[in-house]
Structure 1
Amino acid sequence: MTPEDVRRIALQLPGAIEKSHFGKPDFRVRDRVFATLPKVGDAVIKLTRDQQEMMCAAEPALFRPVDGGWGKKGWTRVTLAAADERTLRSALVTAWRNTAPVTLRKAFDLAGG
């Protein structure tokens, strides 16, 4: 997958917009970041610690915690070259759900998202 794929999938999610975080593209819902594109070949997504542990254990070539304190808060690096569309979409939706307000998540669930 590519940064353009991340952008396309992220911006399909309700209320998602693209902004910039320290000069790098990020994706937000209600001004809260759920994903970033910090460097070529990687995306970073906001997971819970439990989600992070599960995803990293299941697919260590694809997911790994961000170094340092942010990784301990659930921020997780995604190696785009190892991702397929279905897995990337699922990871981005999970990060979006972790960030979006309850009302927006419920509307998305009712719409079949």
Structure 2
Amino acid sequence: MTPEEVREIVLSFPGAAEGLSYGQPSFKVNGKFFTRLRREDASLVLLEVGFDEREMLIEAEPATFHITPHYRDYPSVLARIETLHPGSLRNFLERRWRKIAPRKAVKAYDDGARP
């Protein structure tokens, strides 16, 4: 995927908006961190990924999934956008979105207002 394709998928979630996180361009939902593109390695920060799942992803797809020491203690994984499948991205983002979006937005989404 390209950064533009990633941006399109991220912003397709209700309430998703571009913002800043620690001075870096990012995406937020409901004022909370959703994801961001790491320019230093063209990877996305994906949250709500448990440690066991992260380990499995890195082992199964090392060309896509990786981690840096900064993220080691957080339930997250980094995914290189060049090799990340758009459907996988949508699934990871939906998991995070459901946790931070307003309940009314989640209900509307579940009732059929999907991107």
2:97 aligned residue: 96
**What are the superposed Cα offsets for residues 23-60 of structure 1, whole Å, 9 maximum, x if unpaired?**
32211111000101121521111124155345434433
Q: TM-score, normalised by structure 1?
A: 0.79
Secondary structure (helix, strand or coil) at the match of 1:18 reads: strand
Any conservation in 2 of the 1:65–1:74 contact (CA below 8 Å)? no
Secondary structure (helix, strand or coil) at the match of 2:82 reads: helix
2:46 aligned residue: 45
- Determine the C-alpha separation between the residues in 1 that align with 2:27 and 2:93: 10
1:9 aligned residue: 9
Q: CA RMSD in A?
A: 2.3
Q: Which runs of 4+ in 1 moved over 6 A?
A: none
Higher helix proportion, which one? Answer: 1
Any conservation in 1 of the 2:67–2:77 contact (CA below 8 Å)? yes
Q: How do 1:57-68 residues align onto structure 2 when only pairs under 5 Å count?
A: 57-68=59-70
Query: Quick one: which amino acid aligns to residue 3 of structure 1?
Result: P
Query: Quick one: which amino acid aligns to residue 92 of structure 1?
Result: L
Same amino acid, percent of matched pairs: 33
Residues 85/32 of structure 1: CA separation in 2 closer, same or farther (3 Å cut):
same
Query: Quick one: which amino acid aligns to residue 81 of structure 1?
Result: E
| Residues matched between the structures, number | 112
1:72 aligned residue: 73
Q: Are residues 1:24 and 2:24 paired?
A: yes
Secondary structure (helix, strand or coil) at the match of 2:62 reads: coil
Structure with larger Rg: 2
- Determine the C-alpha separation between the residues in 1 that align with 2:53 and 2:14: 22
- Determine the C-alpha separation between the residues in 1 that align with 2:53 and 2:35: 15
Alpha-carbon distance, 1:8 to partner: 0.7
Residues 61/95 of structure 1: CA separation in 2 closer, same or farther (3 Å cut):
farther
- Determine the C-alpha separation between the residues in 2 that align with 1:37 and 1:27: 9
Secondary structure (helix, strand or coil) at the match of 1:103 reads: helix
